[in-house]
Amino acid sequence: MTTQQGSDDRPRTDSGTEAGADSGTDRGVHERAAGNALLRADEVIAGYVPGVNILNGCDFYVDDGELVGIIGPNGAGKSTLLKAIFGLIKVSSGTITLRGEDITGQKANQLVTKGVGFVPQTNNVFPSLTIEENLQMGVFQAPKKFKQSFEFVTGLFPALGDRRAQRAGSLSGGERQMVAMGRALMMEPSVLLLDEPSAGLSPALQDEVFVRTRQINRAGVSVIMVEQNARRCLQICDRGYVLDQGRNAYTASGKDLSNDPKVIELYLGTLAKA
């Protein structure tokens, strides 16, 4: 799919950025907006096989307290961006910074101690362990945090506390997702990366995941969420990015992306679920 850019004659806001969905390829806009970002990626090139890039110069940022959604067609590089941020794949070019510190290529365990949490799409719980033991694994680098963190997580997800002795393997898909989110929150991250949290869930459980994600964000955790349920994602996020072929196609508030005719035509028609 060829990435089509936003119109050059759209009205602009007082800050100089375009009103509505903005072409995501304007680096000047990105540089100005990301100046005080909590986490940012600049011109990131990365992939799984040497010489075969999935991300092709991707820019991204999230501010303190934001919930940012990432949508786009299959193969666009959405999950790859999260894995590049979390040190799970090699970044061949570009930089990723956290509060101004270059974290490009740092290992996942190092990033967890710096305040980055990650919930993968699949295989995200230890099925043979209880809910409580799964949460304990979340603080294996700092076990003294367990009591305080357990209280915080079970405050967000009371069912995890009520069923703490139940094995994770006996839980439904939606319940496992709650355990995975809870475990990632045990180290009190400043930013949480969620990879397709609603994938494979019933519509009712998908709604619960989105509600819980917003709840986590309101508790003070910045959230970066990759989602195929594009319309629902844009309903709850503060800002959104549309990726296409490993590059930024559009970026704007969730509301503006939802209402932008080009975004609807090119992406939401095939990605969104009513």
Residue 231 has pLDDT above 70, yes or no: yes
pLDDT in tens, 161-183: 999 999 999 999 989 999 999 99
Residue 204 has pLDDT above 90, yes or no: no
Written as one letter, the residue type at 64 is D
For 209-238, give one letter per residue: b (16+ CB within 10 A) or e: bbebbeebbeeebbbbbbbbbbbbbbebbb
With beta carbons less than 8 A apart as the criterion, state whether 68 and 239 touch. Answer: yes
With beta carbons less than 8 A apart as the criterion, state whether 218 and 65 touch. Answer: no
Q: At what angle do helices 203-218 and 173-185 cross, to 10 degrees?
A: 10
Residue 13 has pLDDT above 50, yes or no: no
Query: What is the percent of the chain with per-residue pLDDT over 90, rounded to a whole number?
Result: 81
Domain 22-271: give its CATH code.
3.40.50.300
With beta carbons less than 8 A apart as the criterion, state whether 233 and 225 touch. Answer: yes
Written as one letter, the residue type at 255 is K
Strands annotated E in the chain: 22-23, 39-46, 55-62, 67-71, 91-98, 101-102, 116-119, 191-195, 222-226, 239-244, 247-253
Enumerate the domain spans of the chain: 22-271
**pLDDT, position 6:** 37
pLDDT band with cut points at 50, 70 and 90 for residue 266: confident
pLDDT in tens, 52-84: 999 999 999 999 999 999 999 999 999 999 999
Residue 7 has pLDDT above 50, yes or no: no
Q: What are the residues whose beta carbons fall under 8 Å from the beta carbon of 134, sequence distance 6 or more?
A: 125, 126, 168, 179, 182, 183
- The C-alpha R_g of the chain, in whole angstroms, comes to 18
pLDDT band with cut points at 50, 70 and 90 for residue 24: low
Q: What is the dihedral of CA 267, 214, 197, 270, to 10 degrees?
A: -10
Q: What are the residues whose beta carbons fall under 8 Å from the beta carbon of 75, sequence distance 6 or more?
A: 54, 245
